[in-house]
């Protein structure tokens, strides 16, 4: 879905609501920090948090397993003149240390938006956030935002489908 069919999932990503309000709320909390040395966006998708943050002057490191989504972020960062504030790290969040490599740390904020968790086991989920502590400070804020769960989906399910023609 995110790699082999990224062009289909991207349609859904592009329909998501704008994040200005979310980002403004995050920035209000971030302002409590005396310094701001960067944001780590885990499973960033194709831009919703990072470009909005960058337009407000905050730098971020974008981690995603999908090359296509990161390329789209790159394109949008260039279009918006904020490329200097956005760094890309392609890879699996379960191997965060390896994926971040020499990227500048520590981060003051870690984000995980729109239920970008729960694809693996509960152990993996816990591990992903535990690993995110390593490149963070004690005071780092973790935002897990816009989450949904089975109970919510069972009453608010809005089926959306995209398909592509295949020739056999
Ligand atoms: C529901 S989308 C949300 C994207 C973005 N956070 C947003 O709010 O628009 C989930 C994202 O998680 C990424 N993802 C899934 N598993 C991943 C993994 N193991 N490592 C890195 N990214 C992953 C997908 O490529 C996709 O971009």
Ligand 1 centroid to residue 57 C-alpha, Å? 24
52, 65, 68, 149: residue to mutate for ligand 1 pocket, most atoms within 8 A of CB: 65
Q: Which atom of ligand 1 is nearest to the CA of 111?
A: 6
User: Which three-class secondary structure state does DSSP give residue 142?
Assistant: strand
Q: Tell whether the model's pLDDT for residue 46 goes beyond 90.
A: yes
157, exposed or middle or buried, with CB in 10 Å at 0-12, 13-18, 19+? exposed
Cα 127 to middle of ligand 1, angstroms: 16
pLDDT exceeds cutoff 90 at 63: yes
Percent of the chain past pLDDT 70, that is, above it, reads 99
Two tokens at 94? 């379960």
> For residue 94, which atom of ligand 1 is closest to its CA?
19
pLDDT tens per residue across span 85-117: 999 999 999 999 999 999 999 999 999 999 888
24 CA from centroid of ligand 1 (Å): 22
- Of 66-75, 87-96, 113-122, which gets the smallest average pLDDT? 113-122
Q: What is the mean pLDDT of the chain?
A: 91
To the question of domain 6-12+20-155 being in CATH 3.40.190.10, the answer is no
Angle at the Cα of 88 from the Cα atoms of 28 and 37, rounded to 5 degrees: 40
Helix, strand, coil percentages in the chain from 3-state DSSP, rounded to 5? 40, 20, 40
pLDDT tens, 154-167?
Answer: 898 888 888 877 77
Residue reference for tokens 């693996």: 120
Residue 42 reports pLDDT greater than 80: yes
Taking Cα atoms as reference points, which of 80, 81, 27, 38 lies closest to residue 62?
Answer: 38
Pocket test for ligand 1, best of 52, 72, 116 (most atoms within 8 A of CB): 116
- Is the entire prediction scored with pTM above 0.75? yes
Whether residue 1 contacts residue 64, with contact meaning beta carbons closer than 8 Å, is answered with no
- Residue ranges lining ligand 1, Cβ < 6 Å: 2, 13, 16, 43-45, 48, 63-66, 69, 92-94, 113-116, 119
The reported pLDDT for the residue numbered 62 is 96
């Amino acid at each position: 879905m995110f790699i082999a069919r990224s062009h289909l999932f991207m349609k859904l990503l592009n329909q998501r609501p704008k994040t200005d309000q979310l980002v403004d709320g995050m920035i209000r909390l971030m302002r409590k920090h005396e310094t701001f040395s960067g944001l780590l966006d885990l499973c960033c998708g194709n831009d919703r948090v990072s470009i909005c943050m960058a337009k407000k002057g905050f730098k971020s490191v974008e981690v995603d397993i999908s090359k296509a989504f990161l390329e789209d972020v790159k394109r949008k960062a260039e279009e918006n003149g904020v490329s200097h504030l956005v760094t890309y790290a392609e890879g699996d969040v379960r191997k965060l240390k390896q994926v971040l490599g020499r990227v500048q740390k520590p981060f003051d904020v870690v984000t995980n938006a729109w239920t970008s968790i729960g694809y693996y086991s509960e152990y993996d989920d816990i591990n992903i956030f535990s690993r995110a502590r390593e490149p963070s400070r004690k005071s780092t804020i973790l935002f897990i935002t816009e989450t949904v769960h089975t109970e919510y989906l069972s009453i608010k399910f809005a089926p959306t489908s995209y398909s592509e023609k295949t020739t056999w």
